[in-house]
Structure 1
Amino acid sequence: MFDGAVEVGIQAFMHGDEDQDDESIVSRLEAQGVATWLAERLLVFLPIAFGRYLLRESAFDPNFIDGEVARPLDGDPVYRSAWARAHTAGRAEMQRIGLRSAAVDLANQLLHDGTSSLSDLVFTADLLSAPLPPLGPDGGGVPSPRDLFSKALAEHGFPVTETDGALHCGPLTIDARLFPRESPQGIIAQLDFEVSGPGLAAASVLESVAGYGQTWQEAISSAAAKFLRGSLHPLIAALIDRAGGGDQVHWERFEHPGSPFDLCIGPQLIYFSPNATIEAGPLLDALLHRLRAETLTQRIHWLRVFVSTDEGRIQVNEVLLDNEPWPAGEATVAAAPVGQEFCAMRTFAVLVPA
Structure 2
Amino acid sequence: MDRLIQNTLIDLFAEHGVALEPDEDWLLTEGDDYPALRGIWHEGKDGGMGRLDLDIVLDEERTIEESFGGVGGGKAGCRDALDSFARNDFHVVLAACWHTVNKDKLAVHELTAGMHRFNAYIGDFTLRGEKDAPMEIPEDGLSALEAAISTAPLTNDVHWIRVFYGNVGDGKTQVEVLLDNEPWAAGHKAVASVDWPQHDRYYSLRNFIALVPVD
Amino acid at match of 1:348: F
Alpha carbons of 1:238 and 1:280: their partners in 2 closer, same or farther (altered >3 Å)?
A: farther
Deviation at 1:226, TM superposition (A): 0.7
Amino acid at match of 1:206: E
Greater relative contact order, per chain length (Cα 8 Å cut-off, separation 6+): 2
Amino acid at match of 1:156: H
Amino acid at match of 2:9: F
Q: Is the CA contact (8 Å cut-off) linking 1:276 and 1:344 kept in structure 2?
A: no
Residue 219 in structure 1 maps to residue 107 in structure 2: no
Provide the secondary structure at the position in 1 that maps to 2:50: strand
Residue 290 in structure 1 maps to residue 148 in structure 2: yes
Residue 145 in structure 1 maps to residue 145 in structure 2: no
Provide the secondary structure at the position in 2 that maps to 1:255: strand
Deviation at 1:182, TM superposition (A): 2.0
Mapped partners of 1:187, 1:236: distance in 2: 30
- Structure with max Cα Rg: 1
Q: Is the CA contact (8 Å cut-off) linking 2:114 and 2:152 kept in structure 1?
A: no
Mapped partners of 2:64, 2:71: distance in 1: 23
Deviation track 1:40-99 (CA, whole Å, cap 9, x = no partner) reads: xxxxxxxxxxxxxxxxxxxxxxxxxxxxxxxxxxxxxxxxxxxxxxxxxxxxxxxxxxxx
Percent identity (aligned): 25
Deviation at 1:164, TM superposition (A): 5.2
* Partner residue in 2 for 1:208: 67
Q: Residues 213-252 of structure 1 correspond to what in structure 2 (within 5 A)?
A: 213=72, 215-243=73-101, 245-252=102-109
Q: Is the CA contact (8 Å cut-off) linking 1:187 and 1:219 kept in structure 2?
A: no
Amino acid at match of 1:301: H
Q: Residues 29-48 of structure 1 correspond to what in structure 2 (within 5 A)?
A: none
Amino acid at match of 2:5: P
Alpha carbons of 1:280 and 1:231: their partners in 2 closer, same or farther (altered >3 Å)?
A: farther
More helix by share: 1
1:329 corresponds, among 164, 187, 193, to 187
The count of aligned residue pairs is 208
* Partner residue in 1 for 2:16: 156
Residue 343 in structure 1 maps to residue 203 in structure 2: yes
Q: Residues 170-185 of structure 1 correspond to what in structure 2 (within 5 A)?
A: 170=30, 171-183=34-46
Deviation at 1:250, TM superposition (A): 1.2
Mapped partners of 1:337, 1:247: distance in 2: 27
**Unaligned ranges ≥5, structure 2:** none
Amino acid at match of 1:311: G
Alpha carbons of 1:220 and 1:203: their partners in 2 closer, same or farther (altered >3 Å)?
A: same
Alpha carbons of 1:299 and 1:314: their partners in 2 closer, same or farther (altered >3 Å)?
A: farther
Tell me the TM-score normalised to structure 1 length: 0.54
Mapped partners of 1:222, 1:166: distance in 2: 21
Amino acid at match of 1:209: F
Deviation at 1:353, TM superposition (A): 0.5
Deviation at 1:278, TM superposition (A): 7.7
Provide the secondary structure at the position in 2 that maps to 1:148: helix
1:261 corresponds, among 115, 118, 139, to 118
Tell me the TM-score normalised to structure 2 length: 0.86
Mapped partners of 2:138, 2:172: distance in 1: 14
Alpha carbons of 1:310 and 1:166: their partners in 2 closer, same or farther (altered >3 Å)?
A: closer
Alpha carbons of 1:280 and 1:348: their partners in 2 closer, same or farther (altered >3 Å)?
A: farther
Mapped partners of 1:314, 1:351: distance in 2: 31
Amino acid at match of 1:258: M
Residue 313 in structure 1 maps to residue 174 in structure 2: no
Q: Is the CA contact (8 Å cut-off) linking 1:258 and 1:295 kept in structure 2?
A: no
Deviation track 1:306-331 (CA, whole Å, cap 9, x = no partner) reads: 11113363432111111111112112
Mapped partners of 2:194, 2:172: distance in 1: 9
Deviation at 1:230, TM superposition (A): 0.7
What do you get for the CA RMSD once the two structures are aligned? 2.3
